[in-house]
Each structure stands twice: as structure tokens, then as C-alpha cells.
């Protein structure tokens, strides 16, 4: 059984427990999550997979159970331990009985306040989490007795990193502010020159900030956010969707971007919505 993001909504809502971060981390962390699969093994004794489309940011995965397999593009990685996963690629995680994962979904990882990290160097793989998170912190998370305690351990750790490097002009703060503003206001076609001028820096400097903090360019980041927001809208509420809400020129412009974003095997799941769109906007 393959569960697909945007389509098997109940699965991702009910079997992944998600909690937002403390206010002080909300510009960097989207949510903490933990799998709750115990009720699924009777239904899927041979296991199942969860497929997700490209996203921005990163996921830290701490393995609290047995081996799992992560597929990135067409490459599979058996994972016995903990991983750091750039999210710009489509991924599929293959689960077996005994799997239990805890994770953090970042917009930007706070490790950049502590270590000199260029995230553009991390692409196409799942990397050992110990590259970016001290093993002592990982061990403390694994020893924690509950989901809430694990969140508290990491929240306190990340907040301590921020306390030492606060300031409105830090590259992380600039990039995170742009991402939030563009997402909330649907500013997905704004140029790098316009964004840079708002902070009185050069477009080259801002592009470097984006690549260091997110691993991708500003245009790539905004386009991923754009199509994800539009896809979520059409999957959940097709009757009030309109391509112009997301700054697409016309329906064909949106449809072309959607086909590029979705894998061919999942495009058929959107066909009823797409046919509705075509009838609404002819």
C-alpha cells in the first residue's frame, strides 16, 4: 500500500502526530512529528510506504525503532540509525512492523547559528544526522519517555542556539522572513532584485543567503511553495480554486507546473479535480 501526500489525507493526519514549535522557533521549524503506526500493522502486515512531493527545508529523522528504507528519486537508502534529509526531492519511505520515527520539519535548520554549514552542498541523499546534531543530544532524545519530552529537549537546545546569535540582519532571519511573507501573501513571482532591495543588500548576496540557508535558489524555493500551496488547495477544495490566486497566467500555465511537480503515477489521482477545473474555467 502506498500512501500519497495530498491524497491520503487521513493517513498523514492520523498516523503522524504533529505539534507546532514554541513561538521562538516558529520562523525556522514547521513542526515536530512522530509516527503512530501500531494500529496499522494488522492491516498491513507486509508494511506500506508513504510518498511525499518536493518541499523546501529539511527533515531530521531520529529512529526509535527498527530499520526503514528511504527512497530519494530512484535511490533507496536502508536506514538503521538517524538521518538528515534535504526535502527538495520527492521521497518515499518504506515502513515495516517495528518502525517508530521521530522528526523535525525545518524551514531552515538552526544548526547554521552554531556551525559553518552550506546547505547547497547537501543534495540527493539522506545523510547521517550526527553531521549536524551532536550525538549527545540525539541520545538524550532517544532516552526521553514521551513525544512531548523529546520536543522539549530539542526546543531548549535550538532556542539556546538562537539566543547567542540574534539580530534582524542575520542571513537566516532575512531568508525566513522572505519565505513567510511570500507564502502568506502569495508573492511567488517576485524577483530576487526586488527582495534584495527590501533589505538593502545586493541580489547576489541574497541569492547566496538562500543557497546557504535552504540549499536552493530563491526562485526554486518560491516555486516549490507556490505549487505545494496550489496543489493542497485543489486537492482539498477544488470548487473554490482558481489559478490566478497563485499568480498563474492561465489554466494551462498552472497545469504545466502541476505536471512537473507531480509524479506520473500520482497525476491520475487528481484527474477528477482537473476535469472540474477545466469545466469551471473554459
What are the backbone angles phi and psi of residue 181, rounded to the nearest 5°?
-65, -45
> Residue 98 has what pLDDT?
93
> Residue 171 has what pLDDT?
87
Structural domains for the chain: 2-164 (2.60.120.10), 167-282 (1.10.10)
The CA distance from 168 to 172, in Å, is: 9
Burial (Cβ within 10 Å: 0-12, 13-18, ≥19) of residue 143: exposed
DSSP secondary structure of 105-144: EESS-GGGGTS---GGG--SS-EEGGGTS-HHHHHHHHH-
The CA distance from 202 to 88, in Å, is: 25
DSSP 172: H
Instruction: Tell the residue number behind the cell numbers 498491513, with chain if given.
Output: 44
What are the backbone angles phi and psi of residue 56, rounded to the nearest 5°?
-100, 165
The residue that leads in pLDDT, 117 or 134, is 134
The CA distance from 89 to 92, in Å, is: 10
Full-model pTM: 0.87
In sequence order, what are the beta bridge partners of 106? Answer: 29, 58
Q: What confidence category does residue 282 fall into, taking pLDDT thresholds of 50, 70 and 90? A: very low
> Residue 203 has what pLDDT?
95
Give the tens place of pLDDT for each residue, 175-223: 999 999 999 999 999 999 999 999 999 999 999 999 999 999 999 999 9
Q: Which range, of 131-140, 145-154, 186-195, 229-238, averages the lowest pLDDT?
A: 229-238
Interacting residues of 147 by C-beta distance below 8 A, sequence separation 6+: 17, 19, 32, 34, 102
Residue pair 186/247 in contact by the 8 Å Cβ criterion: yes
Section 100-122 average pLDDT: 88
> Residue 159 has what pLDDT?
92
Where on the phi/psi map is residue 190: left (φ > 0), alpha (ψ -120 to 50), or beta?
beta
Section 100-109 average pLDDT: 94
Rg (CA), the chain: 19
Containing H/E element for 91? strand 91-95
Q: What confidence category does residue 279 fall into, taking pLDDT thresholds of 50, 70 and 90? A: very low
Give the tens place of pLDDT for each residue, 164-176: 776 666 888 899 9
Q: Which range, of 6-10, 132-136, 213-217, 265-269, averages the lowest pLDDT?
A: 265-269
Mean pLDDT of the chain: 88
Q: What confidence category does residue 280 fall into, taking pLDDT thresholds of 50, 70 and 90? A: very low
Strands 48-52 and 2-4, sheet pairing: parallel
The CA distance from 66 to 56, in Å, is: 27
Amino acid at each position: 500500500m502506498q500512501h500519497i501526500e495530498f491524497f491520503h489525507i487521513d493517513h498523514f493526519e492520523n498516523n503522524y502526530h504533529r505539534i507546532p514549535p514554541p513561538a521562538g522557533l516558529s520562523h525556522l521549524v514547521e513542526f515536530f512529528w512522530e509516527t503512530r503506526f501500531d494500529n496499522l500493522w494488522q492491516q498491513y502486515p507486509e508494511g506500506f510506504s508513504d510518498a511525499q512531493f518536493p518541499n523546501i527545508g529539511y527533515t531530521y529523522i531520529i529512529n526509535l525503532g527498527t530499520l526503514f528504507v528511504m527512497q530519494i528519486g530512484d535511490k533507496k537508502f536502508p536506514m538503521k540509525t538517524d538521518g538528515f534529509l534535504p526535502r527538495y526531492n520527492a521521497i518515499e519511505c518504506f515502513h515495516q512492523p517495528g518502525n517508530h520515527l521521530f522528526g523535525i520539519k525545518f524551514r531552515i535548520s538552526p544548526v547554521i547559528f552554531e556551525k559553518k554549514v552550506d546547505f547547497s552542498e547537501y543534495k540527493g541523499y539522506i545523510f547521517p544526522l550526527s553531521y549536524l546534531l551532536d550525538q549527545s543530544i540525539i541520545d538524550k532524545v532517544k532516552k526521553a519517555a514521551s513525544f512531548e519530552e523529546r520536543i522539549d529537549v530539542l526546543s531548549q537546545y535550538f532556542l539556546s542556539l538562537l539566543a547567542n546569535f540574534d539580530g534582524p540582519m542575520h542571513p537566516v532571519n532575512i531568508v525566513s522572513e522572505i519565505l513567510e511573507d511570500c507564502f502568506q501573501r502569495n508573492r511567488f513571482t517576485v524577483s530576487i532584485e526586488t527582495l534584495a532591495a527590501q533589505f538593502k543588500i545586493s541580489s547576489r548576496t541574497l541569492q547566496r543567503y538562500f543557497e546557504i540557508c535552504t540549499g536552493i535558489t530563491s526562485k526554486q524555493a518560491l516555486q516549490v511553495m507556490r505549487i505545494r500551496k496550489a496543489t493542497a488547495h485543489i486537492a482539498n477544495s477544488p470548487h473554490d480554486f482558481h489559478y490566478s490566486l497563485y499568480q498563474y497566467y492561465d489554466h494551462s500555465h498552472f497545469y504545466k507546473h502541476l505536471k512537473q511537480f507531480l509524479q506520473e503515477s500520482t497525476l491520475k489521482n487528481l484527474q477528477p479535480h482537473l476535469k472540474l477545473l477545466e469545466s469551471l474555467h473554459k
